[in-house]
Amino acid sequence: MLFDDHKPASLSRRTLLHAGAGFAGSFMLPASFIRPVYAADDKPAIGTWPAGSQGDTVYIGATVPRTGAYAVQGEDELKGMQLAVEHINAGSDLLKQIAPKVDKGVLGKKVELVVADSGAKPNNAVQSQQTFINDHKIIAMTGSTSSAVAVALNKFAEREKILYLVAISGSNDTTGKDCARYSFRQCVYGETCANAIGPVLLKNFGKGKKAAFMTPDYTYGHTVTKSVNDYLTANGGWEMVTNQISPLGTQDFSQYLTNIANSGAEFIINVNWGRDAVLSVQQAKQFGLTPNMKMVIPYQIPFLAKEVGAELTEGVFAATDFWWTMEDKYPLAKMFVDEFQKKYNYRPEWGAENSYMQFAIWARMVSEAGTFYPPDVIKQYEKGETFPSMVGDVKFRPEDHQLIRPVVIVRGKAPKDMKNEEDFWEVLDVVPGEGLMQKPDAFGCKLGDYT
């Protein structure tokens, strides 16, 4: 007989009876007897702790855009995460430089990544992370390429009491008015970029210029535009003659470009990002606006130059997180670029560098804290210890959980000056982070509770 439906039934009935007896019995025991070991040192269960770290493997949930206007950047970001996880589990040399206590996993556990497509939409990201919490008891979440997603996940992380490692997010709000106790950001953002690129623009182009802004219509765009405009107005007497606000995912920028053509602007400050930036840069050229008007990209876009070609990015000033030629100056950058290129066959852009660093920092903090217990890990971040990174020594600011790190200023190379097919940008300056940041409470950050 192929299916004996008596045996399983009787088995399960017996199991059930046992379980029931155990369950009933447990009520009769004094509370101290059934409290698990972990609770002995005053660490009550919180978020997915301790369930999420009891097995051999801990999971990190990543919601990155694999479709939509930010898909290209999301894919690069994901590759950075995958390489980091591989390095954490192998205890690679590069990772150990950032997190010395990591040895084949974190606190003896393997790390695994679970991934979903967010399409750069906050709702999708939150829903997927909720699923990861239910299915995998993730101990940390990550992913964002739109600051709208980052801000949503900040709030979600705070509610669920699960760490959130911000991926790409340039909005001031992410560690400003929407900051969260459970959230940490590695990358540069609007205010730091504005303060880093502002002096470069004034030095190269002088004072009293007229600028047209192109702004994507959400938290990232509005805060970056405000920071850049505030700097240029206050320090150089520049005037914003028009601000063209377009929705994320705009295809045809002709209406906005026509407005700019008729605005009398001398500069286009393009805050658009991802595919929006690719299309707006290409179409600005079609309309003959560039190179007559100078283009500035205050928050540089990974793969922009690759997609539009060096002819269109030549001479364009941009502020960024990382560019691969920094390997000449920083040994860790060199190790990272080499390893990444070996695995993926292209040089990483800053999305990949940012997510790799976020994972390496997380591994450092957990291994230094000696526990996955979220409040302890957070307090480890908040110690503000200095540690090495691909752009020199860095540390977290405890008041808003923003990494204090340099901003890199680059300028687009002419096609004839490129030494290889990915040599798009020349690094002009690496501006120390300390002086670029606003006061910790200037953007209204109030961190939430630990528990």
Partner 1 sequence: MVNWANFISQCFNGLVLGALLALISSGLTIIYGTLGVLNFAHGAMFMLGGYAGWVAYDYTGSFIVALIAGSLFVMLVGVLMERLIIRYFYARPQEDQILVTFGLGIVFVEGVRFFFGSLSKTVPPPSLFQGITNLGFMVYPTYRLALLGIVAVALLALYFVLYRTRIGMIVRAGIEDSVMVGSLGIDVYKVFMLVFGIGAMAAGFAGIVNAPVVSIAPDVGEAILVQTFVVVVIGGVGSFPGAVLGGIIAGEIISITSMFNPGYAYVMLFVAMTLVLVLRPYGLLGTAGRE
Which residues are at the interface with partner 1 (CB under 8 A)? 66-69, 71-72, 75, 217, 244-247, 249, 251-252, 254-256, 258-259, 261-262, 275, 278-279, 282-283, 286-288, 303, 306-307
> CA-to-CA distance for 106 and 296, rounded, in angstroms?
42
Instruction: Compare residues 286 and 386 and give the one whose CB is closer to partner 1.
Output: 286
Contacts of 155 (CB under 8 A, 6+ apart): 178, 180
Instruction: Compare residues 287 and 387 and give the one whose CB is closer to partner 1.
Output: 287
- How near is the Cβ of 230 to partner 1 at its closest, in Å? 22
> CA-to-CA distance for 285 and 310, rounded, in angstroms?
13
Contacts of 139 (CB under 8 A, 6+ apart): 48, 49, 52, 53, 58, 59, 60, 162, 163, 372
- How near is the Cβ of 250 to partner 1 at its closest, in Å? 8
- How near is the Cβ of 293 to partner 1 at its closest, in Å? 13
- How near is the Cβ of 401 to partner 1 at its closest, in Å? 31
> CA-to-CA distance for 164 and 158, rounded, in angstroms?
9
Instruction: Compare residues 278 and 430 and give the one whose CB is closer to partner 1.
Output: 278
- How near is the Cβ of 254 to partner 1 at its closest, in Å? 4
Say if residues 165 and 403 touch (Cβ distance below 8 Å).
no
Instruction: Compare residues 256 and 424 and give the one whose CB is closer to partner 1.
Output: 256
The CA–CA distances, whole Å, from 89 to 86, 206, 362, 363 equal 5, 51, 13, 10
Q: Are strands 210-216 and 267-270 parallel, antiparallel or unpaired?
A: parallel
Q: Omega into 50 within 30° of 0, i.e. cis?
A: yes
> CA-to-CA distance for 10 and 178, rounded, in angstroms?
56
- How near is the Cβ of 239 to partner 1 at its closest, in Å? 17
- How near is the Cβ of 258 to partner 1 at its closest, in Å? 4
Per-position DSSP letters for 240-300, written without gaps between them: EEEEEEE-TT----HHHHHHHHTTT-SEEEE---HHHHHHHHHHHHHTT-TTTSEEEESS-
Instruction: Compare residues 263 and 371 and give the one whose CB is closer to partner 1.
Output: 263
Instruction: Compare residues 278 and 318 and give the one whose CB is closer to partner 1.
Output: 278
> CA-to-CA distance for 105 and 392, rounded, in angstroms?
24
Please count the CA atoms within 13 angstroms of the CA of 224 that sit on its side-chain side.
34
Instruction: Compare residues 76 and 160 and give the one whose CB is closer to partner 1.
Output: 76
Instruction: Compare residues 93 and 252 and give the one whose CB is closer to partner 1.
Output: 252
- How near is the Cβ of 83 to partner 1 at its closest, in Å? 19
